[in-house]
Chain A
Amino acid sequence: MREGDRAGMRQVWTEDELDRALAGLYMDIETDQRGLAGVRENLVAAAEGRTGPRPGTLGTGAVGTGEGARRRSPVRRWLAAAAAVAVLAAGGVVAQTVLFSADTATAQAQEALTSAADVAARAADPVLAAGQYRYLATHAWWMKTTGAESRSFSFLNENLVETWIPADPGGEWLQRRRETGNRKWVEGTEAEARAAGVVIEELPWPERRAEGGEFVQGAPEHGNWQFPGPEFVAGLPTDPARLYERLRTDSGGGKQVLVYAADALRTGLMPAAARANLLRALAHLPGLDVTDGAVDLDGNKGVALGISEGEERQEIILDPGTGEVIGERKVSDSMFAGVPKGTVTGYSSVTTAVVDRIGAPPTR
């Protein structure tokens, strides 16, 4: 479609449309349950104390052509499942999604957070004169996967998201987003992708304006971690342990705690004291560790605090000099489909300034 059409396009689905698409996606994916009969036999055999598959199932699916030949034989599946169960039982991890070795962040992480919090607490919040705007620029390198018939290509695609926040946060905000055309290739190269016929182009994003920064409809009236207005911040516990509990309850715990804290810090809406408290609260996050002492996000240097979960490590990057969170990063935590362990699968850095007009660039 043309760019002009895009601006007029409805950008939000109704609840019904979402439900229809979810149901449609469910119907869209065909499944094949022929393998279940063998699974049941093995289960009943195991329940009755007979080990391994019953002789009668040995031939099923092990030899064949066409559709059936694609499937793994019940015997191999049984062995794989039995091995997996043995591992799970030995570790005792089945009931727990994530295993933590400690019940707080590591000593190193606690130290980094506490000293950053001390600096943050002393920092003066920028004072805006009437008519001035707080300018927030996020350089985000988000993974984009695209593909031709036979293979896929992935690259980190740079997005620049600029937000202008008025002195009175209830006034009109402006947000502009563009894809810069800067790419870092993770899987394949640009030449290979173009040779395979992949079209790589920057997408246009419409400018957004909204009272009170409510760019997405239906934000909770009293704010949340993604939109921490004054009322929300005033309602947060000041005791770090209780603040952590609140964060854990709201986010669901684990890696999400870090994601939610970073969401709040990134908005630029949290006053210095609240930022400091939030950093102290993170010291209670089990499994949080200093994962990289010297990160360089396009020239912004800091210390990475991270937590591993679901084959990925989520990190926030702190500037020890100012106590500010200057960015976030995701790092692959296991080898998967050609993306080696340790690969950065996304990062963003944030800079702020005060400007005199909405839409005006910062002067440096």
Chain B
Amino acid sequence: MTANSAEPGQGPPLGDDPDLSGPDPGVVFGRLFDDHAGSLHAYLARRVGDQTADDLVSETFLVALQRRHTYDPTRAGVRPWLYGIAGNLLRRHVRQEVRGWQARARMVGADRVQAESPEVRTSERVTAQQQVRQLAGALAALEPGDRDVLLLTSWGRLSSTEVAQALGIPVGTVHSRLHRVRRWLRSHSPVATSGMEDGDA
């Protein structure tokens, strides 16, 4: 990963609620990009892959540029605003994402072979990898809206309030969805059903 290959920032960060409608959009959006493109790309790439993430980041910032006059810093921070735009664009790739999780879950088969040798069978690393892949299988089964809330929180590091702003839903809904989806994952990830790995542990 070469996160620093995007051009380094050319000034202080813009902060959480910048004025985007200023006279010099080239400078403002350059900084906005430096502040947020790396983390947004990392989040998107983990959901739909590098190449689609490149496209989505590009589209997200172009949409943001076009809609900069409608951005109201008193209603939402700029980060949830960007994640919200990206999330809408991401909807076109739901199936691609689900297939990615399913493929990842199937990779457990490879671990099973490795686990035959005594030195790795006891290794905690193998167990951790299996858990990770069981989780991938369970993520594939989530409703897209539930997956958004979970991953914006866990991977995007957005607060509940920011998730609510990004998705345009009440913060109470974020809390209840997160509670429900985590409970479901805790009981279903160990027996994720998407693939042949199910009985393996």
Contacts and interface: CB of A to CB of B under 8 A. Distances in A.
Contacts of B167: 97, 252
Given A21-B135, A77-B54, A77-B55, A145 B102 contact: yes
A294 interface: no
A80 to B, nearest CB: 6
Contacts of A336: 95
A37 B187 contact: no
B25 interface: yes
Contacts of B196: 146, 198-199, 201
A18 B189 CA distance: 9
B7 A256 contact: no
| Prevailing SS type, chain A contact patch | mixed
A48 interface: yes
A152 B100 CA distance: 12
Given A43-B65, A71-B51, A252-B145, A337 B46 contact: no
Contacts of A254: 145
B126 interface: no
Interface in A203-246: 203-204, 216-218, 224, 226
Contacts of A17: 131, 186
B5 A37 contact: yes
Size range of the chain B interface in the assembly: 35 or more
Interface in B58-116: 58-59, 61-63, 65-67, 84-85, 87-89, 91-92, 94-96, 99, 102-103, 106
B56 to A, nearest CB: 9
A20 B63 contact: no
Nearest to A12: B187
Contacts of A311: 92, 94-95
A61 to B, nearest CB: 10
A218 B53 CA distance: 36
Interface string A324-353: 000000000000110000000000000000
Nearest to B42: A31
Contact of A310 (B53, B144, B186): B144
A44 B201 contact: no
Interface string A14-41: 1101111111111011111111110110
Contact of B33 (A40, A147, A203, A204): A40
A85 B91 CA distance: 15
A48 B26 contact: yes
Nearest to A219: B183
B13 interface: no
B41 to A, nearest CB: 6
Contact of B38 (A26, A33, A80, A144): A33
Given A9-B201, A33-B38, A81-B59, A97 B168 contact: yes
A47 B155 contact: no
Interface of A: 1, 5-6, 9-15, 17-26, 28-37, 39-40, 42-44, 46-48, 71-72, 77-78, 80-82, 84-85, 88-89, 93-97, 142, 144-147, 152, 198-199, 201, 203-204, 216-218, 224, 226, 249-250, 252-256, 259, 310-312, 336-337
10 contacts: A18-B182, A24-B128, A25-B132, A34-B5, A36-B5, A43-B61, A43-B62, A217-B183, A226-B180, A254-B145
Interface of B: 1-3, 5-7, 25-26, 28-30, 33-34, 37-38, 41-42, 45-46, 50-51, 53-55, 57-59, 61-63, 65-67, 84-85, 87-89, 91-92, 94-96, 99, 102-103, 106, 128-129, 131-132, 134-136, 139, 143-145, 150, 154-155, 167-170, 172-173, 176-177, 180, 182-187, 189-191, 193-196, 198-201
